Amino acid sequence: MDAAFITPFITSVQNVFSTMMQMPVTINTPTIKQSSPTATYDVSGIIGMSGDVAGNVVLSFPSASAQRIVQLLTGTEVSVDSPDFADAVGELTNMVAGGAKGLFQGKKKVLISTPSVIIGPSHTVTRPRGVPVICIPCSTDCGDLMIEVAILERTAVVASPEEINEKAA
């Protein structure tokens, strides 16, 4: 498990929750799951990362936790099927991923995508093939969430057939 990809997300999630919601986040012991496409919980905020790294990060919430956290962030009760709910989960994910990328070691050049949000039980998330998923369990007063990091340094990525063809051309 590469601490270089764990510590920035821990620091960032704690910073985002304390700054935007005045709520501490307790970090439990990270684990690894092997390339599972299934998200841990029912609500997933997803950000793609590219540049010197490749992959994505997911903030996965049980619905009840997500509803309480969104209410705290927005100041209003928002139903899970409202577009505003997905927007709030996406913005939270954006702030956590953006904050983490600024903390990566070695001045990596990393670009992040705009967030996407998936809601529903047992949904799947496409992750880079063969990359283990680092799961960072977090507890808050609003409930649990899981940060799922599936990224690797670009130098370690096996080139795609398109990239090989481009280099050969």
Partner 1 sequence: MKILLIDDSKTMRNIQKSVLAQLGYTVIEEACDGQDALSKVGAFQPDLILVDWNMPNMDGLAFVKAFRAGNKTTPLIMVTTESEKSRVIEAIKAGVNNYVIKPFTPDLLSQRIGETMSKVNKAAA
Binding footprint of partner 1 on the chain (CB under 8 A): 15-16, 19-20, 73-75, 84, 87-88, 90-91, 94-95, 97-99, 101-102, 107, 112-114
The distance of closest approach from Cβ of residue 127 to partner 1 in the complex, given in angstroms and rounded to an integer, is 21
> For 121, which DSSP code?
T
The distance of closest approach from Cβ of residue 103 to partner 1 in the complex, given in angstroms and rounded to an integer, is 8
The distance of closest approach from Cβ of residue 156 to partner 1 in the complex, given in angstroms and rounded to an integer, is 22
Q: How would you class 57 by CB atoms within 10 Å of its CB: exposed for 0-12, middle for 13-18, buried for 19 or more? A: buried
136: β partners? 147
The span from the CA of 89 to the CA of 73, in Å, is: 10
The distance of closest approach from Cβ of residue 124 to partner 1 in the complex, given in angstroms and rounded to an integer, is 24
Q: Are strands 133-140 and 143-153 parallel, antiparallel or unpaired?
A: antiparallel
The distance of closest approach from Cβ of residue 62 to partner 1 in the complex, given in angstroms and rounded to an integer, is 20
Whether the CB-CB separation of 146 and 46 falls below 8 Å is answered with no
Which lies closer to partner 1 via its Cβ, residue 56 or residue 94?
94
Which lies closer to partner 1 via its Cβ, residue 114 or residue 160?
114
The span from the CA of 135 to the CA of 114, in Å, is: 22
Residue with tokens 């529903």: 120
The span from the CA of 95 to the CA of 92, in Å, is: 5
